[in-house]
Amino acid sequence: MKFWKYLGLRLTTWALTILIGVTFIFFIPRMFPSDPVERMIGNMESLSGSMDPAAKEAMRKSLRIQFGLDGSLWEQYITFLWRGLLHFDFGPALMSYPTPAGEIIARNLPFTVGLSMCTTIVAWCIGNFIGLLAGFRKNKRSSRILEGIAICIYPIPYFILALVLQIIFAYVLGWFPLQATIQYNNGTATFIATLLKASVLPALSILLLGTGWWIISMKSLSGTTSEEDFVLYARYRGLSEGKIGYSYVFRNSILTQITALAMSLGGVFNGSIMTEIIFGYPGVGTLIQGAIMQSDYNMILGCITISIVAISTCTLIADLIYPFIDPRIRYS
Amino acid sequence: MRKTLSLCLALAMVLTMFVGVTALAEGEMTAVGTPRSETLVMECQSPTDNPGQFNPYMIGSSMGFGVHQLMMSHLWEMDTAAGEQFGEIADGMPEPNEDFTKFTVKLRQGIKWSDGEDLTADDVVYTFNMIKTTEKGISMTAYLNTILDSVEKIDDYTVQFNMVSSFPRLTQVFGVTIWGNSYRIVPEHIYSKLEDVTQFKDPNPVVAGPYTVKDFDPNGYWVLYELREDWMQSTLGVAGAAYYGYTEADTPAKYVWVRALGDDTTRQMAMINNEVDLLCEVTPEMLDYMRSQNDKIACWYNEFPYATSDDPCSKGLVFSCGQGEPWNNKYFHWGIALAMDFDEISLGIFDGAGRAAAFPIITATSSGQELYYKPLLDWLENEFTIELSDGTVLTGADVWDPEYAFRMAEFKEIEGDEDYLIDMFGVGCWKYNPEAAEKLFIEAGLEKKDDGWYYNGEKFTIEMSYLADTEAQAGRGVQAAYDQLSKFGFDVTIVSKSSASWDTDGSTGNFQIAGYWPFNFITKDIYDKIQGFDADLIVPVGERANGQSCRWDNAEATEIIHKLAGIDPNSEEAYQLGLEFLKIAIEDLPMIGFHSGVKFVPTNSSIWEGYPSADNAYNGPWWWWSCFKYIAPRITLVK
């Protein structure tokens, strides 16, 4: 009974969080001092040098109707809640009219999720493993070396690390492409080969920094845990170091890391603008950036709604599975 | 632990070596699987938002991603070297009736669509009728219906345009003058079968241009184009043979790979590594670095100023006259012009590179300088005056500095005769005359006190804005002007705007002084460049303008625009009216020009050569314009 009450409350919080989040993200772009129609007309005028005033006015009216920007704000909001939030139909992307925003997001999301999900999970596993060793066996030389490497890599700003990797492996050695070039239409083998080749440097750049953070945080957690009384007691009982490390230190330290992992996994839907820009890797990060620059309300809503739902859902799942990982926690 | 680490390291090394060897084994192939020796690689500045969408009449199609450069065709195309239009699909220029209400247009014979069908009058008639009748989805429909009554097929290779009223500038509206033109002829036998042309992406387009799509990136980063086997039957083969004399021997590259390269660092690395042959605009600093790393990288000139000054869109300062006094006051405008030292501005923008183009609205491309700047010098130096209420009369000698070119040449140690230096640096600039500027500001109602300038008893401040995302020339110009006006004693702030708000603020007049660029010039007839300055189009600040963003209100200028609208654009009268218009604009100075469009457009001659340059100026270096297809045959493989 307690569980169902807890679940009900937690689901209500989840729904409210999403509603408040998307409401903000619906109204904020509309307060920008920008307009997708003016942006499109400005682009065309900039390219052609000048535009006939009558042609400009006719185009302005035509585009406002086509973009669905002629209704009241309230009408647009209700439409968004019904179609966007409940059916994930965000309408046409204004910067790619009339292609639906959802279609463009769906095209880019697999790259973002694939890259970020893989690197996040791998970094989490490696980082926690090394961090556990560094914290639990802190007097070993190998632990100190690994911790030292992590401490050196972690503070490096991402774009510097990414640029260094790009300069060494793509520009100087030429082993990887400067910009991701994926061939889709020359067979599955070519697609996989070019995709892997294009993904190595972006993945490596995210992995290096991500691992550094997990090492440092896990080292700190496991270091504290390994000095707890129950760990000393386990040693007095003569349990093996492996048993103590896994059952006593690791299981007690990992809880915080699981919460952080859940948040990170939710965040993979945001994309990584820097990675995408530096390596020319497809993804939703640059999509959001482009949408903001071009005042594409539908695309902004689409990308960020997915992100809000993903983060909220991952946090909800993490909350629900805690008791299975740590028996001390009960639903209440 | 040690064993695990060693194993990981060994695996990483093997993987790295494998990737390295694979890369080397690929040899001279591009990343899209074509031989590099058959592939011209051209940059597009940003990925397309609509990959696989090649229908020019679907909103959002990225024409500059190679589509209009390689596949699309217009009735008239532009020869940027000669500054004149020529018939692309049309066979020569149109024949108008006396009052310009009907035009007979002959079409070239022998042009075939890429599926082998002939391009005939049916295609031209269908295209214009399609635009006229597609009420929703084509942005030009409403406007076209206000000017074009009907288009008729006279025979298979002749059409007649019947205009709603006298319309002398048919080729300027339906043909290319600068970057491209929205009226692109589409195949009737394909498009007429569609239920809704505006929803047809056309991923495998049938085109009249020389290239077709071979492959594209579904994420929008590149498109690979392949030369048609029958390219001599394309518009390039037929119009190119007639106008440029191209033959089979001028066969262009088999493939053109148009790709977005991301940030500036990557663009530089790609060009240094010969992974791209043509870049779009870069900064002089980027060019300098690339040249130091790869001696095959060049620009329009081989030495200073490197850049071409013939881009028709130039940069400077624009006053938002709709903001009222003193922003609409000509004495204030002139005060700003004379308070700035243009030598320092010029050095601040591109280290002195570029042709000075001080006049408002019309810029000093090579032909603009000859047609409009030089003829006005006599008037400017001998007749022009500004009279102030204290009896001071400022003459041309007080405001105009004809020595700029020679001073800059001496500073940059450039040698050459007068014509050469004037072609490089321009006929002159507004004079740095702070004493006169001070009088002009006082005339405009400003008051100078110990702690700065006041207006209506309050401290006077100026906000200057520029577009941060792109257009280095415009941004640096505003920053340099900010330094000059601060030095003069004004309380100036500078605002960097993103492209998200830049266009809206321009349209609504929400700025004080900004680096917009309503300055341009391409053809002798300047009507289409000045028609937006019609005062009848002015709307209050805050409302979206269809005409000029600066809201310059001048009745005389408006009268000239109205007169020009109805007369033959090629007549002497039209030209003289253009000169008169420019005199009026100079007197009011609603905008201050700095340089003509200065473009550093790098080329890489490691694999391909023959690009247009100052020594071989058969065309401008405009890879992103539709005229690129006529440049392509001159670009040949390095032997």
Query: Please, which pLDDT band fits residue A271 given cuts at 50, 70 and 90?
Result: low
Q: What is the pLDDT of residues B576-615, one digit of tens each?
A: 999 999 999 999 999 999 999 899 999 999 999 999 999 8
A94: nearest CA in chain B? B60
| Biggest CA pair distance of chain A | 89
Nearest by CB to A49, from B53, B313, B531: name it. Answer: B313
Does the structural domain B36-299+601-637 have CATH classification 3.40.190.10? yes
Q: Are B546 and A65 inside 8 Å of each other by CB?
A: no
A276: nearest CA in chain B? B262
Work out the minimum CA distance from A324 to partner chain B, whole angstroms.
31
Q: Are A59 and B19 inside 8 Å of each other by CB?
A: no
Domain of A248 in residue numbering reads as 101-295
| CB < 8 Å to B504, chain A | 33-35, 38-39
Nearest by CB to A181, from B32, B59, B505: name it. Answer: B32
Work out the minimum CA distance from A197 to partner chain B, whole angstroms.
8
Mean pLDDT computed over A196-221:
90
Mean pLDDT computed over A94-112:
84
Q: Are B500 and A294 inside 8 Å of each other by CB?
A: yes
What is residue B2's predicted lDDT score, i.e. its pLDDT? 47
What is residue A58's predicted lDDT score, i.e. its pLDDT? 74
Lowest mean pLDDT among A72-76, A194-198, B313-317, B625-629: A72-76
How high is the mean pLDDT of chain B? 91
B30: nearest CA in chain A? A181
Number of domains in chain A: 1
Q: How far apart are CA A117 and CA A160, in angstroms?
A: 22
Q: Are A38 and B504 inside 8 Å of each other by CB?
A: yes
Q: State whether residue A34 sits within 8 Å of chain B by CB.
A: yes
CA proximity to B30, closest of A190, A177, A184, A173: A177
Mean pLDDT computed over A301-327:
82
Mean pLDDT computed over A265-274:
74
Nearest by CB to B537, from A53, A95, A185: name it. Answer: A53
Cis bond upstream, residue B47 (ω within 30): no
| CB < 8 Å to B47, chain A | 286
Indicate if the pLDDT at residue B160 is higher than 80. yes
Q: What is the pLDDT of residues A274-309, one digit of tens each?
A: 888 889 888 888 888 888 877 788 888 888 888 888
CA proximity to B517, closest of B553, B548, B544: B548
Q: Is A172 exposed, middle or buried (0-12, 13-18, 19+ CB in 10 A)?
A: exposed
Does the structural domain B310-599 have CATH classification 3.10.105.10? yes
Mean pLDDT computed over B57-73:
90
CA atoms within 13 A on the CB side of A298: 26
| Cα-based torsion angle of the residue sequence B123, B128, B130, B135 in order, rounded to the nearest 10 degrees | 170
Residue A319 located in a structural domain:
no
What is residue B11's predicted lDDT score, i.e. its pLDDT? 52
Residue A313 located in a structural domain:
no
Nearest by CB to A181, from B198, B222, B312: name it. Answer: B222
Q: Are B504 and A43 inside 8 Å of each other by CB?
A: no
CA atoms within 13 A on the CB side of B320: 22
Q: What is the pLDDT of residues B470-529, one digit of tens each?
A: 678 899 999 999 999 999 999 999 999 887 788 889 889 999 999 988 777 878 889 988
**Residue in the block written with tokens 């997001």:** A105
What is residue A331's predicted lDDT score, i.e. its pLDDT? 62
Q: What is the pLDDT of residues B110-134, one digit of tens each?
A: 999 999 999 999 999 999 999 999 8
Indicate if the pLDDT at residue B5 is higher than 90. no
What is residue B18's predicted lDDT score, i.e. its pLDDT? 44
What is residue B128's predicted lDDT score, i.e. its pLDDT? 97
SS3 A265: helix
- What's the one-letter identity of residue A19? L
| CB < 8 Å to A35, chain B | 503-504
For A117, the token pair is 């999900």
CA atoms within 13 A on the CB side of B478: 28
Q: Is B62 exposed, middle or buried (0-12, 13-18, 19+ CB in 10 A)?
A: buried
| CB < 8 Å to A63, chain B | 59, 139
B499: nearest CA in chain A? A293
Q: How far apart are CA B279 and CA B271, in angstroms?
A: 8
**Residue in the block written with tokens 């970020």:** A116
CA proximity to B593, closest of B422, B403, B363: B363
Query: Please, which pLDDT band fits residue A47 given cuts at 50, 70 and 90?
Result: low
For B133, the token pair is 């009748």
Q: What is the pLDDT of residues B176-196, one digit of tens each?
A: 988 889 899 999 999 999 988
Mean pLDDT computed over B217-223:
91
| CB < 8 Å to B275, chain A | 178
Work out the minimum CA distance from B611 to partner chain A, whole angstroms.
22
What is residue B239's predicted lDDT score, i.e. its pLDDT? 97
Chain A segment 195-234 residues within 8 A of B by beta carbon are: 197, 200
Q: Are B269 and A163 inside 8 Å of each other by CB?
A: no
CB-based contact B477:B345 (threshold 8 Å)? yes
Q: How many CB atoms lie within 10 A of CB A308?
A: 21
Residue A12 located in a structural domain:
no
Q: How far apart are CA A161 and CA A149, in angstroms?
A: 14
Cis bond upstream, residue B326 (ω within 30): yes
CB-based contact B33:B254 (threshold 8 Å)? no
For B384, the token pair is 């022009």
Mean pLDDT computed over B418-443:
96
Q: What are phi and psi of B309, to 5 degrees?
A: -105, 20
pTM of the model: 0.83
Mean pLDDT computed over B288-293:
95
SS3 B610: coil
B516: nearest CA in chain A? A46
Q: What is the pLDDT of residues B234-273, one digit of tens each?
A: 999 999 999 999 999 999 999 999 999 988 889 999 999 9
List, in order, residues 6 or more apart from B183 with CB less than 8 Å away: B74, B75, B127, B128, B131, B140, B173, B174, B175
SS3 A199: helix
Q: How many CB atoms lie within 10 A of CB B559?
A: 16
Q: How many CB atoms lie within 10 A of CB A183?
A: 18
| CB < 8 Å to B507, chain A | 38, 41-42
CA proximity to B588, closest of B334, B269, B261, B313: B334
CA proximity to B40, closest of B79, B66, B62: B66
Lowest mean pLDDT among A170-179, A316-325, B220-229, B297-306: A316-325
Residue A212 located in a structural domain:
yes
- What's the one-letter identity of residue A3? F
What is residue B13's predicted lDDT score, i.e. its pLDDT? 45
What is residue A44's predicted lDDT score, i.e. its pLDDT? 64
Cis bond upstream, residue A157 (ω within 30): no
Q: How many CB atoms lie within 10 A of CB A331?
A: 16
Sign of CA dihedral B136, B142, B145, B151: negative
Q: How far apart are CA A310 and CA B378, in angstroms?
A: 70
Q: What is the pLDDT of residues B8-39, one digit of tens each?
A: 444 544 454 444 444 444 458 999 999 999 99
CATH code of the domain containing A198: 1.10.3720.10
**Residue in the block written with tokens 């007749």:** B383
Q: How far apart are CA A300 and CA A105, in angstroms?
A: 10
SS3 B60: coil
What is residue B384's predicted lDDT score, i.e. its pLDDT? 97
